[in-house]
Amino acid sequence: MSSNSISEAFLLWMTSLLLMKTNGKLNMKLMRGQGTSIYLSANAFNSSIPNWLYSFSHLEFLDLHENILQGTIPSAIRNLTSAISIDLAYNELEGKVPRSLGNLCNLRDIRLSSNKWSQEISEIFESLSGCVSNGLEILDLSNAQLFGQLTDELGQFKNLVILSLGSNSISGAIPWSIGNLSSLRYLDLAGNQIIGTLQSFGQLSKLKYLNIQSNMLEGVVLEVHFANLMRLKTLVASQNQLTLEVSDSWTPPFQLNHLELGSWNLGPKFPLWLCSQKQLWTLGISNTGISNAVPPSFWNLTSQFEYLNISHNQIYGEIPHIPMILSSPSIVDMSSNHFKGLLPCISSNVTFLDLSNYLLSGSISYFLCYKMNEPKYMQFLNLGKNLLSGKLRNCWLMCKDLYALNLGKNNFTGSIPASIGSLVRLSYLHLDNNRFSRKLPSSLKNCKDLVTIDVAKNDFVGSIPSWIGHRLSSLVILNLHSNNFHDYIPEELCSLTSLQILDLSRNKLFGSIPKCVHNFSAMATSNSSDYPFQLYNDGTGYNSQPLESQSVVIKGKDLEYSTTLQLVKIIDLSNNNLSGVIPEEVTHLKGLQSLNLSFNILTGRIPEKIGDLVLVESIDFSSNQLFGQIPQSMSSLTFLSQLNLSNNNLIGRISSSTQLQSLNISNFFGNKLCGPPLTDNCTIKDIQPNIENKEHKVFSGLVVDWFYVFMALGFVVGFWVVLGPLLLNKQWRVLYFQFLDHQGYKLRGVVTQTWHCCKILNI
């Protein structure tokens, strides 16, 4: 091996050592050893960094990122005196960054992100304050569990081109010394708790990428702050409390490719300076206080966008019909504004479209069937919460990539077209709060990936299809409430082991509750399930939002869940005609939060093991025919905050517990219960029972109800007094039946005469 390189033989020897330490998991395709470089990234090394690695004083490039390396970086790293680039990112290293790293004078690139340093950022700056600070160009410490405040020591790295400190717990203000980083082109401070203003950024004349989103920056940003940022291409500063004050005629000195200013105060006027940005690919200005119409010159820019988010403002006017809007696969989110009029024509290249929560009206047919023979790449379509009406046409055959469809909360009528079954990738289907009728189309059984079916508050009829249980094994949410479904609850639904929300309330279902409900295994565990709900990326790589949200009724309130939807587990079968007993198997569902069986005709007792529902927050068994006592185990439900047992036939004392005694007394009305919180505290019944006035007495431990005893005795005596002689005496029996025959003849004669009279009188 020469003094300036690692020989091939020595590299093989080193590889064999690494293989022994990693149980032979080395990915040989990702390993290169050329001259003074070692690239061993993206393997499965799960040991500490071997000490002999630091003996190669001529090593220039060391890349061990994306492994499972553990332990600390020893001070022996100072021996890598020729090192130019060290990449140890995406491992499980911990401890502190050694001070000796600052003595590597040739080092230009340090990447230590996505490890567990748990160190103050000022300590790292101090460790790197040696000769390395003079030439360092790239410093990546993002997502490294760092804390503390930025200090003026940051200004010593005057040749930094890339500085990434995002996704840590850094707090405090941004130091003025950041203005000394005259070569800086990429700055990522996102996802910290940095406070202050943008005063010092105006000095970074070479800055091209600035990411400071999700901090606590506040104050006013003026034109002067951008005066020297002529090279800026990416500005990501959302989730701050900054206000942009520029003149209507301002023309920025830069031409941006990516702009994300979500949650800034840009309004009330639409920022006209955006129309000067001819190179924009991505634009996010959601929730920025704009309450103005969009200028026509802005719509002319949309053909260049790959991502457009102007949601959660008060923008009004009509969306123009621009058939070629967005020429490449694109994301468009314009939801929660005040747009009105008809649905626009949208390019077939749009993959994500959210026009929900508008005042859009009219038919959906032209929008859906536009260029019928042209393949559509739409994956997510949300037109919910509008004023759209009419029937759905059979225009779904060219939308085979669609996996999320929300048409809820509109005024659609008619039946669901059979062609919706061609959406074989469909996962989320929301058709709630419309006036759809007839039966659910059987073609939906082809959509085997369905996770959500929400058709609540429509006019669907028929029985609940058994194929839902047979074919839709991935179903997590089944919401059919407030329709006209009838017949039994099919036992096939018990095959839905992933089901977490089952709402069949306000229908016309009858029969018993299936005992197989214990097969809902996702409801039987307190763990958060592997929910298949996804996040959509905003196209810039900086933000993501939940694709799915769901309204559910818990504790009598209609609540909407999105980011925590995977934790919600409820069963609501209320307002039907269900009969029989509450199956004991329901107590196996230990992850349930809400159980509502109210307004049915259920009988029997409350299951004794109801206390096994340890996480339940709401139980409603009101307006049934339940009898017996409240199980003692119910007092152990520590999360229970809503319990309604009113209008049943329950008796006895209410069990003592903080939860039960804190409930409103109306939740127990219509029963024969006593004890707190009711005013009848059971004292008289417990101390001085009036045995003489009871309908039963106790003898030798047995309860005798004399009413039923005398009733049975009377039946026996009456039977033998009246029918006994007929059975024992043949002559009496013959005379009795002759008497009955005679009376029958007389009755028939009366009927015949009456019929003739009516015929004569033409009655």
Name the amino acid, one letter, at 592.
Answer: L
CATH code for residues 452-687 = 3.80.10.10
Closest residue by Cα to residue 181 from 204, 163, 198: 204
Residue 671's alpha-carbon distances to 131, 341, 633, in angstroms, are 83, 55, 19
pLDDT at residue 730 in the model? 55
Please state, in angstroms and rounded to a whole number, the distance separating the CA atoms of residues 140 and 61: 16
Tens digits of per-residue pLDDT, 87-146? 999 999 999 999 889 899 999 999 999 999 989 999 999 989 889 888 999 999 999 999
CB contact at 8 A, 555 and 594: yes
What is the predicted pLDDT for the residue at 628? 94
Q: CB of 447 within 8 A of CB of 475?
A: no
Q: Quick check: helix, strand or coil at residue 646?
A: coil
DSSP state of 590: T
What's the pLDDT band for 6 if we cut at 50, 70, 90? very low
C-alpha to C-alpha distance for 493 and 571, rounded to whole angstroms: 13
| The pLDDT value given to residue 731 | 58
- With a CB cutoff of 8 Å and minimum separation 6, the contacts of 31 are 15, 39, 40, 43
Choice among 29-33, 160-164, 306-310 with the minimum mean pLDDT? 29-33
The pLDDT confidence band at residue 763, using thresholds 50, 70 and 90, is low
Specify the pLDDT at position 601.
96
Q: What is the pLDDT of residue 276?
A: 92
Give the pLDDT of residue 700. Answer: 38
* Amino acid at residue number 494: C
Evaluate if residue 336 carries a pLDDT over 70.
yes
User: What is the pLDDT averaged over residues 20-48?
Assistant: 60
| 8 A C-beta contact, residue 283 and residue 309 | yes
Beta strand 380-382 with 350-354 is parallel
Instruction: Show me where the domains of the chain are located.
Output: 452-687, 724-760
**In this predicted model, which residue has the larger pLDDT, 208 or 621?**
621
Average model confidence (pLDDT) for the chain?
82
Rg of the chain over all Cα atoms, to the nearest angstrom? 38
The verdict on whether omega for the bond into residue 50 sits within 30 degrees of 0, i.e. cis, is no
**pLDDT of amino acid 546:** 57
Residue 699's pLDDT is what? 39
Most confident range, picked from 141-155, 300-314, 616-630, 660-674: 616-630
Query: If you average pLDDT over each of 19-23, 543-547, 709-713, which comes out highest?
Result: 709-713
End-to-end CA distance of the chain: 127
pLDDT confidence of residue 759: 54
More confident residue, 724 or 661: 661
The pair of three-digit structure tokens given for residue 261, joined into one six-digit string: 């200013």
Q: Confidence class of residue 410 from pLDDT cuts 50, 70 and 90?
A: very high
Nearest Cα neighbor of 639 from 657, 655, 611, 615 is: 615
The residue-averaged pLDDT of 292-306 equals 86
Lowest-confidence pick of 210-219, 389-398, 435-444: 210-219
Q: Is the pLDDT of residue 262 over 80?
A: yes
Provide mean pLDDT across the span 232-246: 86
Count of CB atoms within 10 A of residue 19's CB?
Answer: 14
Whole-number pLDDT of residue 33: 41
397 versus 248: which is more confidently predicted?
248
Helices (H), 96-199: 121-127, 132-135
Task: Give percent above pLDDT 90 in the chain.
Answer: 42
Q: Does 10 have pLDDT greater than 50? A: no
